[in-house]
Amino acid sequence: MNATELLSLFLQCCLLSLLTIGGYATVLPDLQRQLVAERGWLSDAGFAQGVALGQVVPGPNILVIGVLGWMAAGAAGLLATLIGILLPSSLLVWRAGSWVRQNRDHRLLLAFQVGSMPLVLGLTLASAWLLAKPMLSQGAGGFALLALISLGSAWRAKWPPLLWLGVGAAAGVLGWI
């Protein structure tokens, strides 16, 4: 990987940074397109593994992007993705924060908040589909059942997400998914 490719990855992450409304998961589909489909630096399974690894690492969830950069291009990839995803949105929030605090009830701000909900939901569902795709290719029955049980139980019982991670890991070890 050369400096031009790393710069391109950095600039792509800078653009994606401005779409992280609702969290890092909203940019995973485009990052997957960049790292897997267009550049071939990771496989679909490797991408899903990178996201899973990034989830269990202590710290902010945005570190998933850095883990994917590390897996794709080592330390340089880590810096390109993590700085790229953090810098523009951080600067935007820093500059816009005082205006937002002063204008909480401004109709344009309220319209933006309401209008961004479908965007966040759609991008998050696209991310979920990308992460489930490698598992679904091995057989969807056990995966679908586990997903439904986890969703229903987490919704009703409010059990900790770490419990569901453990259930999923046990199901994988037992060969159910």
Separation in Å, CA 105 to CA 102, 110, 120: 9, 7, 21
Separation in Å, CA 112 to CA 14, 38, 87, 118: 21, 32, 22, 11
Given a cut of 80, whether residue 173 has pLDDT beyond it is yes
Please give the residue that has the higher pLDDT: either 112 or 13: 13
**Cβ burial, residue 60 (10 Å; 0-12/13-18/19+):** exposed
Rg (CA), the chain: 18
Cβ proximity of 7 and 41 under 8 Å: no
Q: Using the structure block, give the residue that is written with the tokens 């900790």.
A: 160
Please give the span between the terminal C-alpha atoms of the chain, in angstroms, as a whole number.
35
Cβ proximity of 36 and 51 under 8 Å: no
Given a cut of 80, whether residue 158 has pLDDT beyond it is no
Given a cut of 90, whether residue 74 has pLDDT beyond it is yes
pLDDT, tens digit, 9 for 90 and up, residues 58-73? 888 889 999 999 999 9
Mean pLDDT of the 125-138 span: 74
Confidence tier at 7 by pLDDT (50, 70, 90): very high
Per mean pLDDT, which range of 22-26, 27-31, 107-111 is the poorest? Answer: 22-26
Average pLDDT, the chain: 85
pLDDT, tens digit, 9 for 90 and up, residues 87-122? 999 999 888 888 888 998 999 989 988 888 888 788
Residue 16, pLDDT score? 93
Please give the residue that has the higher pLDDT: either 132 or 55: 55
Given a cut of 90, whether residue 146 has pLDDT beyond it is no
Please give the residue that has the higher pLDDT: either 31 or 164: 31
- pTM, rounded to two decimals: 0.68
Q: Using the structure block, give the residue that is written with the tokens 């790229």.
A: 84
